[in-house]
Amino acid sequence: MPITILIGAQWGDEGKGRVVDWLASSADIVARYAGGDNAGHTVALDSSVYKLHLVPSGILHSDVVSIMGNGMVINPVNLVREIESLRKLGLEITPERLVISSRAHIITPAHVALDKANETVLGDSKIGTTLRGIGPAYLDKTGRAGIRTGDMLLDVEEFAERLIATIESANARLALQGMETLDPQSAAESYLEAAAVLKPFIKDTSIYLYAALTAGKHIVCEGAQGTLLDIDHGSYPFVTSSSPTAGGALTGLGVGPLFVDRVLGVAKAFSTRVGGGPMPTELEGEIARRLRGSGDNFWDEYGTTTGRPRRCGWLDVVMLRYAVSVNGFSEMMLTKLDILSGLDELKLAVAYEIDGQRHEYPPVNNETLDRATPIYETLPGWHEDISNCRAFSQLPAAALNYIERVASLCAVPINSVSVGPERDQLVLR
């Protein structure tokens, strides 16, 4: 099994962190390929809860190498902070265990300031970004004006010069929008310190991965965000600025497609979304509150990165079917099935009705999608506590029926479900 790609099949927050943690137990390398610290991957382990934003979830396994790929955008100061906090929790983080691509792009303080300024200007039509500077950093990347992690290997003065130039160019844009500008010198200082810490971790990860693959190593590609937030395939412009889909894993790591033999789509058993943009099955009221949880538990539906309450709704099979077609999943996993326990009935959006016509796939324009009414199929719920189930045969008939119906509507097998946040709360076929 050379490469397994793990993809969020919805709008992010599908519980990918714990799935990567599970897959990592039989992997040599876990590699992240897109996004930055907009992600929040949570893994519960031995009464500790690890919240990872930049470092791949493989870091929790001492025999796994974690790679941060070229497709990522990295805030070096936040990365150093994350490494320090993981070390405090007892994890060993060395350049042998964590390798950072020299081709990833750097998020500067200017990108963070521009992200905030852009959202302020958009007002009510804002995207609802995580305000981590993701969009502006990718904009500089594709505009060929970005700075890269490899630049941290240059001598300090040269790196400082590049950093200051980026900040000065952002200042011009900030001033145009009537926003406060940054002091380039002081903004650069903490970055120079971070660069000194990170230098030994930086390598050409594409070459590293090719050597590993040809030596027969098994790599798990850890997707961040989700298919419906993809810059090309998501509900544009309410998307992130990277490619969290299967194709993005290849370009975001610099590996060839022939090494991939498994594409695992991870979907939550219901829908959630954080930030703006269409969500046809969004619910308000009692069921939404129930799906969201009180916020007292780390697995409740509040953003790991921003703390924002997530919008919740019934499982949207139309979107899921679309995610299947974009990524070509070889199988899917359903997470948080336990949260559905106790509901008398469950609904699945199997199609949309738009202007009197039935649609099996989402339309491209948000204006059309806004007119979509979900066509629901109602399934019986179950009342049993399923958190201790560990085999499909232990699940109640209604839960099995729900899983099989989703699999059949998507025409992809579902071979695993999660029934709680702990490492062992998995039900495998």
Catalytic residues: 13, 41
Residue 105 or 405: the one with the smaller Cβ distance to ligand IMP is 105
86 — phi, psi (to 5°)?
Answer: -70, -35
CB of 86 to ligand IMP, least distance (A): 18
- Kindly state whether residue 372 participates in binding ligand IMP, applying the rule CB under 6 A: no
- Kindly state whether residue 336 participates in binding ligand IMP, applying the rule CB under 6 A: no
Q: What angle do CA 49, 55, 58 make, to 5 degrees?
A: 70
- Kindly state whether residue 13 participates in binding ligand IMP, applying the rule CB under 6 A: yes
Of 79-87, 116-124, 132-140, 374-382, the window that binds ligand IMP (rule: CB under 6 A) is 132-140
Measured from each CB, the residue nearest to ligand IMP is: 275
Is the distance from CB of 418 to CB of 18 less than 8 angstroms? yes
154 SS3 class: coil
Question: What is the sign, positive or negative, of the torsion defined by CA atoms of 75, 271, 418, 332?
Answer: negative
CB of 229 to ligand IMP, least distance (A): 5
Beta bridge partners of 221: 5, 31
Closest CA to 273 of 223, 235, 246, 326: 235
Residue 133 or 184: the one with the smaller Cβ distance to ligand IMP is 133
Residue 240 or 335: the one with the smaller Cβ distance to ligand IMP is 240
Residue 234 or 254: the one with the smaller Cβ distance to ligand IMP is 234
- Kindly state whether residue 129 participates in binding ligand IMP, applying the rule CB under 6 A: yes
Task: Give me the residue label for tokens 């490899």.
Answer: 150
- Kindly state whether residue 39 participates in binding ligand IMP, applying the rule CB under 6 A: yes
- Those residues whose C-beta lies under 8 Å from the C-beta of residue 196, and which sit 6 or more positions away, are 156
Tokens describing residue 387:
């958190």
- Kindly state whether residue 34 participates in binding ligand IMP, applying the rule CB under 6 A: no
Closest CA to 29 of 232, 259, 320, 369: 259
Residue 308 or 358: the one with the smaller Cβ distance to ligand IMP is 308
CB of 131 to ligand IMP, least distance (A): 7
DSSP state letters, 190-214: HHHHHHHHHGGGEE-HHHHHHHHHH
Residue 66 or 240: the one with the smaller Cβ distance to ligand IMP is 240
Binding-site member from 17, 135, 223, 420 for ligand IMP (CB under 6 A): 135
153 SS3 class: helix
Give the C-alpha separation, 205 to 211, whole Å: 10
Residue 135 or 184: the one with the smaller Cβ distance to ligand IMP is 135
Residue 128 or 363: the one with the smaller Cβ distance to ligand IMP is 128
CB of 309 to ligand IMP, least distance (A): 12
- Kindly state whether residue 405 participates in binding ligand IMP, applying the rule CB under 6 A: no
- Kindly state whether residue 223 participates in binding ligand IMP, applying the rule CB under 6 A: no
Give the C-alpha separation, 410 to 321, whole Å: 5
Q: Which residues of 30-69 are buried (b: 16+ CB within 10 A; e: fewer)?
A: bbbbbbbbbbbbbbbeeeeebebbbbbbbbbbeebbbbbb
Binding-site member from 43, 55, 127, 260 for ligand IMP (CB under 6 A): 127
Binding-site member from 128, 309, 381, 396 for ligand IMP (CB under 6 A): 128
Residue 237 or 381: the one with the smaller Cβ distance to ligand IMP is 237
Of 5-13, 91-99, 103-111, 394-402, the window that binds ligand IMP (rule: CB under 6 A) is 5-13
Per-residue contact track with ligand IMP, 173 to 212, x per CB under 6 A? Answer: ----------------------------------------
CB of 53 to ligand IMP, least distance (A): 9
Is the distance from CB of 280 to CB of 369 less than 8 angstroms? yes
Subset of 226-285 contacting ligand IMP (CB under 6 A) = 229, 238, 240-241, 274-275
Task: Compute the CA torsion angle 106, 108, 111, 117 (nearest 10 deg).
Answer: 160
Q: What angle do CA 148, 181, 171 make, to 5 degrees?
A: 50
- Kindly state whether residue 219 participates in binding ligand IMP, applying the rule CB under 6 A: no
CA 45 to chain centre: 20
Per-residue contact track with ligand IMP, 40 to 59, x per CB under 6 A? Answer: x-------------------
Tokens describing residue 130:
């995580």
**Number of residues engaging ligand IMP in binding (CB under 6 A):** 21
Tokens describing residue 413:
């097998």
Q: Under the rule (CB under 6 A), what is the footprint of ligand IMP?
A: 11-13, 38-40, 127-130, 132, 134-135, 224-225, 229, 238, 240-241, 274-275
